[in-house]
Structure 1
């Protein structure tokens, strides 16, 4: 793991710790402000004042500070003094039943209503949780935008923007919940809050289902076209597998979440819990998937600064006569174009490193094929080319090229390096560069749409 990545993770953890402490203190302050008073309210269907209202306790009792009627609602304020379980029933002077509830009081004096789900200081907790996810989304998105250079090419980047998207969606949902809880706390109880939060993942998945299915279909179409134009390889069918898996997963979730259910109260709670967990998990997965797409597009469109010392070109298969197919020629042309533009604008001449060994069915190393093309078709001087002709995969491309650069420059000298590959391959290649210890930015060449 690079020092930069460790530092970035450390800073993020510090930011999250500060955010968590702030939100926790906010919830504690809200709880402290409420004191020991605990308020309850219930709707009363008649217009007239229910006279002679009184509370009957089953066993243990607690003081009733206020009991009044206003606008078809009965309000009562209790003052828990001892921890324990309390059962109350509310009647009018004619002993007509008005309200029933069980109150649980913790040793710290926090009261919880079984009927409404409300507890002492609950609104402050809802607001604090909303602010936490809002802060999390700001931290993640801000950190993602700030990612520059080689440090961008990391799976941490996908996680950062994916979590940022998930936190943003969660914030929007919680903001609606918080506003409703603050604006109308009696009609929007904490049980309603719990229900909204539990169903948010399901709502998000159902809302995004058409987008995910369309994305999966496009992925299948693209991969099918790829197989028609390219030879069969395991990596060339991954898109098909992912596409069908997405469709099957979304179909399963759709029917599971919308199926009719009958059973006991306990079975219903288990069923709803499973629905909530599945909805949240799928929502998180979709956000991470969106993060991966965003990282891929950002990497493909990035253009490094024109102050490079080395330009590494990642090889791939070529024709039997040694000529370059469009895919590889596009990479080499992109690298040489960058090399020429940098030289014209800054006067600095970088060294081009065609990288790729010889496969079992190839007449020469990929590096040699690229070298010949640059010399004959693009008129690049031999002094500007340094071949790396031993690598067999992307990791070795990066590792062996790094060793050539260090051998030429010395271990301690810092150099600016970029690698050139096909646009869809830039981010993944950047990850391999980081794993190989090569500090380099990527530059993508265009390719046919089906490679995506």
Structure 2
């Protein structure tokens, strides 16, 4: 019986965090086949051997699908070498080429070490190339965070979620819990720092 109470309390806690996150972190609408100037694929670490992790595989698969559907003719692959020596943008670009995307349609942003840097650097690329609108591709649990940053950076965007990798079906609830708890902690820090200044 105690286990049931603990589970209920955890569920209530998660629902409260989810409500706070949804009201403070705005997410754009799904793209719904609208034409955009560019597809921004957010990076995720490659495997230790340089191969594609399941999460990265699904993001790339979605970006390639959007490209082949004619949603946008340019793809920004954004991500540096974060968890190992493999640059995420290069791993993603190679995978896109293998999926039939033209190399000249791919822009590699190799410096970003976080979601925020992914979008800051992508915005600079967009400005330099005269690109006005974007569709941001990431994992379902990551889109709200990415989209809220894009709003802060005033990027005209929509979002598209990649599939959940079949390897992670069991742990997806934990991934959501981790991401939303992290966003909640960042929100608390933001308000604390705002009160200090």
Same fold (TM over 0.5): yes
Distance 1:311 1:294 in 2: 26
What SS does structure 2 have at the residue aligned with 1:353? strand
Q: 2:145 aligns with which of 423, 428, 431?
A: 428
Q: Does 1:331 align with 2:59?
A: yes
Distance 2:68 2:90 in 1: 21
Distance 2:7 2:65 in 1: 39
Q: Unaligned 5+ residue runs, structure 1?
A: 1-209, 218-242, 248-284
Q: Which residue matches 2:48? A: 320
Distance 1:382 1:395 in 2: 25
| 2:45–2:81 Cα contact (<8 Å) kept | no
Q: Unaligned 5+ residue runs, structure 2?
A: 177-197
Q: Does 1:386 align with 2:107?
A: yes
Deviation at 1:320, TM superposition (A): 2.0
Q: What are the equivalent positions in structure 2 for 1:278-289 lying under 5 Å apart?
A: 286=16, 289=18
| 2:31–2:135 Cα contact (<8 Å) kept | no
**Structure with larger RCO (C-alpha < 8 A, sep 6+):** 2
CA 1:299–1:309 in structure 2 vs 1: closer, same or farther (change >3 Å)? Answer: same
CA 1:293–1:321 in structure 2 vs 1: closer, same or farther (change >3 Å)? Answer: same
What SS does structure 1 have at the residue aligned with 2:59? helix
Q: Which residue matches 1:80? A: none
CA RMSD of aligned residues (A): 3.2
Q: 2:8 aligns with which of 214, 219, 226?
A: 214
Q: Which residue matches 1:415? A: 132
Deviation at 1:435, TM superposition (A): 2.2
Deviation at 1:370, TM superposition (A): 0.4
| 1:394–1:429 Cα contact (<8 Å) kept | yes
TM-score (norm 1): 0.33
Q: Which residue matches 1:290? A: 19
CA 1:428–1:369 in structure 2 vs 1: closer, same or farther (change >3 Å)? Answer: same
What SS does structure 2 have at the residue aligned with 1:386? strand
| 2:134–2:158 Cα contact (<8 Å) kept | yes
- Number of matched pairs: 166
TM-score (norm 2): 0.71
Distance 2:20 2:30 in 1: 16
Structure with larger Rg: 1
Cα-to-partner distance string for 1:213-250 (whole Å, 9 max, x where unaligned): 53725xxxxxxxxxxxxxxxxxxxxxxxxx8xx39xxx
> Where does structure 1 differ by over 3 angstroms across 4 or more consecutive aligned residues?
210-215, 288-296, 298-301
CA 1:406–1:323 in structure 2 vs 1: closer, same or farther (change >3 Å)? Answer: same
Deviation at 1:436, TM superposition (A): 2.6
Q: Which residue matches 1:441? A: 158
